[in-house]
Structure formats: structure tokens, C-alpha cells
Amino acid sequence: MHSATARFPALAAAAAAALLLAVGAAGSAAASPARPGVESGAAPAIASRPAPADAGTVKVQISIGDFNGTFRAMAKLKLVTKAGRGLVGVILPDTLSSDRFGRFDAPYLKRAFATAGLPASQLKVASAHGADATQLAEAQADITLGAKALIPDPLDSGVGGAIESIAAAHGVPVIDYDQFTLGGSRRYYVSFNVVAVGRTLGRGLVSCVSAWGVKKPQVIIMNGGSAGSTATRLAAGYDQVLSPYFKSGKWALVSEPAGTWDPPTAAAEFRQQYAKHPGLNSALIPDDENAAPIISFLQGQRIKARTFPITGQDATLTGLRNILGGYQCGTAYKPDYLEAQGAAALALFLRAGLKPPASLLNAQFKDPSGKKASVPSMLFGPVWVTTKNLKSTVVADKYVSVSQLCKGYATACKAAGITG
């Protein structure tokens, strides 16, 4: 799930509560187990014993909680890799949708498979180059080459469905990666828990209102797309957190304009609402890119740093700099290496004809298209990043370079313990 890329068809907002049946922990990089059919709140780190995968001599103990930035957990799967044969095909979106796919997902996936012992000749990672037809052609080529598992991140559910139909006709299992194909026939789904991301945004705003001393919060909620799977699930998360504050009268929900993922549109909507409601002093904004022009506008209005809390998502360079500058209070960071390892692990089990252990699956995701299918899923939780943990999260993960981050923010970086 990448918030700035709204690729889902529109859905009714009223369906939000039914979209996710079991969710992972918010505020933690590793997701926690949840009871099927129940939406959990924040949960502690995984304490369950990893289940063994057993097929003849293949015995592996691995859990979703084992994945981290070291990639060491993937080495546990060497016996699974050895037991399988054939190609694994990965089909990513174009880099125009988001540069993360070229910068992070592709190299992380390659590293995950390599650490698990898969020869480079048995892995094919391709990008869409901006066209649905390219993704479909890549899937067809992979199947022709004898692929035993496909990992597509489709540009939209149309091409995703076409890929999954062709794969099913050839008996090739599919893992939906990052984006869910509505009405598809995938075997598993690997992504970040969008409702948990929403809760993280809500909790982040609450913590910043307190930390920045906003006495009477007058809040604007800038939703993502006005309808759609990603936006609806995000809203379900932050509404859970913020509704009690509004109902109690401690906070005032002053405005909630129609949602958008387009930064210029978001900025125009915010300016209109700010003119109507000059007392606005806090904003729930769904991602860093939408927050950026709004912050620029507020700076033009001479709003001082650390006085107007604003949230974000995706840990973009602009968002992180706005955090250092005191104009964005935090961002929901989703470490892509978790998705990469999770998808690679499942693919290796499928390639070997083995059923993945239950300890790798922590959710049942309900297809919101109306197909009523519940898909076994691996959903990870985000990390709320502020100046207090910038160094130990995005900097430690090399998600952003220190030279880029600190350019023009040397004093703020030093205060955050970031040097180099």
C-alpha cells in the first residue's frame, strides 16, 4: 500500500469497518497475530512460537516477527529453496507511480531471495514502465519461462485481475504485493495494515497536540481519496482514535473537506477552509506529499514552528525535513524491506509446493469488491517517526541519506543526534 498512489476503484465509505478482519499492530515495524474475524487494537510484539513447515526432510521455523532490516531470517529458508524448483516472477509498477519501487522494493526483493539461497537465474524482477499491458506481458513471459510463483504489484485491479486469471489457468499461484487486486484470485496478500496506519496517524496527532501545547484543538481532517479502499481504511483507523475526542467536546472537528491524493488540490481545499475557519490549529493529513504544500501555505501565513500539528505518511524527504523544521509532527513510516521479505518467504514455500506455516500469516483480508473472499494475509504495522526516533528508524535503515536530510537543517539534525 502506497498512499500517494490511489489505484483502487471507488468504494462506499460505509464498508470501512468490514474491509479488514484481522490486523497487525500499529506503531511497530513487525505485525502481531490477531484472531481471525476480529480487528485488534495495538498489540505487543509477537510472542507466539514460530510454527514448523514440514515436507519430508524440510523443517523450518519462521515467523512474521523474524523479519527486520538485517534480512537474517531469510537464511532460515534455504532448505525450502533447495526443495523447490522453477522461476519466481516479480512484477512491479513503474517508477512514476512511486520511486520506492526502484529504490527499495526491487533491491530488497533481490536481497531477500538471495539470502534464502535462490539463484539469480531463478528470479525475474520487472517494472511496468507505465503501462498495464507491460505488466500483463511480463506475467505471460514469466509463465512461459515456467514460473512457479508470481508476485505482482499491479497498476490497477484491471491488470491485476488479468494477470491472476492467466496465472490460474496455468496453475501458477499468485501473491498480491503491496496492492490488493479487487475480485482477483491470488493465494496470499502481503502489505501494510492500512487501518493500523490510520490509527498511527490519529495517535500521532494526539501526541503532537499534547507535546506542542495546543490547548483547544480546532481540527481539519484532510482525507485521502473521497472514496476507495485505501482512503476508506485509513479513515476507519484514525476515526477510531479521534472520534472520542470530538464526542467529548475536548476537540472540535471544524472541517472535513472531500478527500484527495493530489497535493495541489489538497492545498486549494485547505486554503479555502482556512479562510472560512481562521481558528484552525491542527490537521490530520494522510501523507507527506499532501501535507507539504499546506505547510508551505501556513509558513506564508507566519504560523510559527511547533504550534500547528500536522501528520503525514511515507517518510518522504520533504516530510522528514518538515518534521525537523517543526512544521510536521511526524510521519507513518512503512519499512519496505518487511514486505519484500514476507512476499519472498511465501513465494519460496509455493515454489516448493509447501503450505506456508501459520506463523507467517497474521490476518484474513476481506476482498472489498463484493466477492466476499477472505484472503490469508501478512500485514505489517507502521512506525511513527518523529525527531526523537529519526536516527534509529529512517536514518538507520538508510531510507534517506544524512547529507540530503540535513541539508539546510544541520542544527535540527544535530539536536536529533544525526551527524555524518
Element (H, E) at 282: strand 282-284
Q: Is pLDDT of 316 > 90?
A: yes
Q: Is pLDDT of 379 > 90?
A: yes
- 195-333+384-415 folds as Rossmann fold (3.40.50)
What is the model's pLDDT at position 133?
Answer: 77
- Judge whether 21-193+336-379 and 195-333+384-415 match in fold: yes
Task: Show Cβ contacts of residue 226 under 8 Å, excluding neighbours closer than 6 positions.
Answer: 10, 258, 259, 260
What is the model's pLDDT at position 365?
Answer: 94
Per domain, the residue ranges of the chain are 21-193+336-379, 195-333+384-415
Using a pLDDT cut of 70, give the percent of the chain over it: 84
pTM of the model: 0.84
Q: Is pLDDT of 371 > 80?
A: no
Half-sphere exposure of 390 (CA within 13 A, CB side): 29
Handedness of CA 356, 359, 360, 365 (dihedral sign): positive
Domain 21-193+336-379 is classified in which CATH homologous superfamily?
Answer: Response regulator (3.40.50.2300)
- Kind of pairing between the strands at 252-255 and 282-284: unpaired
Nearest CA among 204, 168, 174 for reference residue 188: 174
pLDDT tens string 121-174: 999 999 876 566 789 999 999 999 999 999 999 888 899 999 999 999 999 999
Say if residues 172 and 187 touch (Cβ distance below 8 Å): no
Binned at pLDDT 50, 70 and 90, residue 201 comes out as very high
- Kind of pairing between the strands at 188-192 and 374-380: parallel
What is the model's pLDDT at position 42?
Answer: 34
